[in-house]
Amino acid sequence: MLLDRLIQILSSKMAIGTAIPAIPAIPAIPAITAIATAPNSGAPIEATTTPSKLPLSPTAPPPTIHHAYMQSALRIATSALQNNEVPVGCVFVHDSRIIASGRNDTNRSLCGTRHAELVAIDKILATHPPSIFKETDLYVTVEPCIMCASALSQVGIRKVYFGCSNDRFGGCGGVLRVHEGDKVNGGGGYEVVGGIYSSSAVVKLREFYVQENGRAPVATNKKGRELKTDNLPVDVVIL
């Protein structure tokens, strides 16, 4: 009898027409803040950005003009990879027009200074006055190394946009903060913004380092190494 009574009570509470409790809404993913560091200033400038749920495809329509320029740099980096060079590519933009591009050329030239940025700088100086850099922005797939960051400071670049960070040799925050001003060589500071197609830039670097390098002083057997596409940095969309 007690069991029958309990079933009756439960059945009445589950009758049709009883409101179903609302399911709590899933909280929205918070925005990511990309840090754009201003030269000669202790306080960073914050540029609000939103994360991409999946790595941005460099072949899809670019969400901003900055991504469009970085797509061009990534294509140049692909060319470097196809020529057995470390896949770093860049473009210099002046008045909304690409005036020069460059890719790593150290293996072919056997010269350690032939980084993408310096190759492009030489092209610009061959046809333009040095003053053009004051109104020119750089888009490069990997954060400039310390050498290139110093060169950019000395020529007076206006702003640098890069893909992935360079935590071994970076001169724009990865290791040193050369972009804040090069007092030794008289270079001025410039702003930097990173994270544009960072996942694509990292994958290209991984593609290079899993392949055989016939020009290496001591050959390393890389047979069996697999290209990893996990643990990629988050791409950002600049608003």
Q: Which residues are catalytic?
A: 117
One-letter amino acid identity for 162? F
The residue behind tokens 């030489």 is: 122
Task: State how far the alpha carbon of 121 is from the alpha carbons of 91, 117, 136, 139, in Å.
Answer: 10, 6, 11, 13
CB burial of 30-67 (b: ≥16 within 10 Å; e: otherwise) equals eeeebebbebeeeeeeeeebbebeebbebeeebbeebb
Phi, psi (rounded to 5 degrees) for 204: -65, -40
